[in-house]
């Protein structure tokens, strides 16, 4: 092959390579099934911690309350867990007895407070959570997973936090949620934002209500979609019941 032929052939090969790469790529961001080994690590009663797991992500995937898992495994705040650690997903008898004793003590304390009518407790008002939709919703659909909703939005839209809170999970290690954020709002409530194209905040970040936290993803129908869910003590709630109309 002559040098003159090489001059024309090289650009053609590069162009062909670029076309092949573009054809093989995809613009679909949701849902992402990146975790094929979850079933191997989890049963109805236990979970073996993998790299990237957090107590919150395990609780979310198994439908448990993170505080209960912490209690069952004698894990205290900030809930540090380790790769290879086996966590119990059910209450042990000893842990159950301790929990029952604590509950009885709390009941006695509450009764004493009612009798003495201390005014100091009146000043301690609970902060109410006022939710907002994370995107401008065009349509609502049921999700591919058992709980939560698919919110259909617009191109280029940013996903925003429904309330103030702390990001306790940011990643794509949970099967069926794609690029997922879990935000803890208080000791009871958590929200999840899945199927994102890109996450804009990191795990541990403190976010304000309405703050941009992610870029909305794209499904197989090329729609801009977001998976959204609210949980209280590990149990999924009706999203529409808590959101403004």
User: Is the pLDDT confidence value at 122 over 60?
Assistant: no
| Cβ–Cβ < 8 Å for 174, 53 | no
* Model confidence band, residue 69 (pLDDT cutoffs 50, 70, 90): very high
Distance (Å, whole) CA 26 – CA 245: 35
Task: Concatenate the DSSP letters of all residues of 100-143 into one string.
Answer: HHHHHHHHHHHHHHHHHT-GGGTT-PPPPP----SS--SEEEE-
37-114 belongs to CATH 3.30.200.20: no
Phi, psi (deg, nearest 5) at residue 10: -60, -50
Distance (Å, whole) CA 28 – CA 10: 32
| Cβ–Cβ < 8 Å for 134, 200 | no
Q: CATH number of 139-242: 2.60.40.10, 2.40.30.200, 1.10.645.10, 2.70.70.10? A: 2.70.70.10
User: Is the pLDDT confidence value at 170 over 80?
Assistant: yes
Each residue's pLDDT tens digit, 9-49: 555 555 554 444 444 444 555 554 444 555 567 777 889 99
| Total-model pTM | 0.72
* Model confidence band, residue 147 (pLDDT cutoffs 50, 70, 90): confident
Residue appearing with tokens 């080994």: 37
User: Is the pLDDT confidence value at 92 over 60?
Assistant: yes
Parts of the chain belonging to CATH 2.70.70.10? 139-242
Parts of the chain belonging to CATH 3.10.350.10? 37-114
* Model confidence band, residue 126 (pLDDT cutoffs 50, 70, 90): very low
Distance (Å, whole) CA 174 – CA 149: 17
Distance (Å, whole) CA 51 – CA 73: 19
Cβ-count burial of 49 within 10 angstroms (0-12 exposed, 13-18 middle, 19+ buried)? middle
Lowest-confidence segment of 96-105, 166-175, 219-228 by average pLDDT: 96-105
């Amino acid at each position: 092959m002559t040098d003159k032929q090489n001059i024309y052939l090289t650009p053609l090969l590069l162009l062909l390579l670029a076309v092949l790469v573009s054809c093989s790529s995809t613009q679909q961001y949701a849902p992402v099934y990146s975790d094929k080994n979850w079933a191997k690590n989890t049963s109805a009663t236990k979970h073996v911690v993998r790299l990237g797991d957090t107590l919150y992500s395990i609780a979310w995937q198994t439908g448990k309350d993170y505080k209960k898992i912490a209690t069952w495994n004698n894990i205290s705040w900030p809930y540090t867990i380790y790769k290879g650690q086996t966590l119990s997903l059910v209450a042990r008898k000893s842990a159950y007895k301790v929990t029952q004793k604590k509950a009885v003590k709390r009941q006695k304390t509450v009764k004493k407070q009612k009798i003495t009518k201390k005014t100091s407790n009146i000043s301690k008002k609970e902060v109410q959570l006022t939710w907002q939709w994370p995107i401008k919703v065009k349509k609502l659909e049921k999700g591919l997973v058992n709980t939560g909703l698919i919110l259909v939005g617009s191109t280029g839209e940013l996903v925003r936090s429904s309330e103030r809170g702390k990001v306790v999970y940011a990643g794509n290690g949970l099967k069926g949620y794609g690029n997922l954020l879990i935000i803890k709002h208080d000791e009871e409530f958590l929200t999840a934002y899945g199927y994102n194209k890109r996450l804009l905040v990191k795990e541990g970040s403190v976010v304000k209500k309405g703050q941009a936290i992610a870029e909305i993803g794209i499904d197989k129908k090329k729609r801009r979609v977001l998976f959204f869910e609210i949980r209280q003590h590990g149990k999924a709630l009706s999203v529409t019941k808590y959101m403004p109309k």
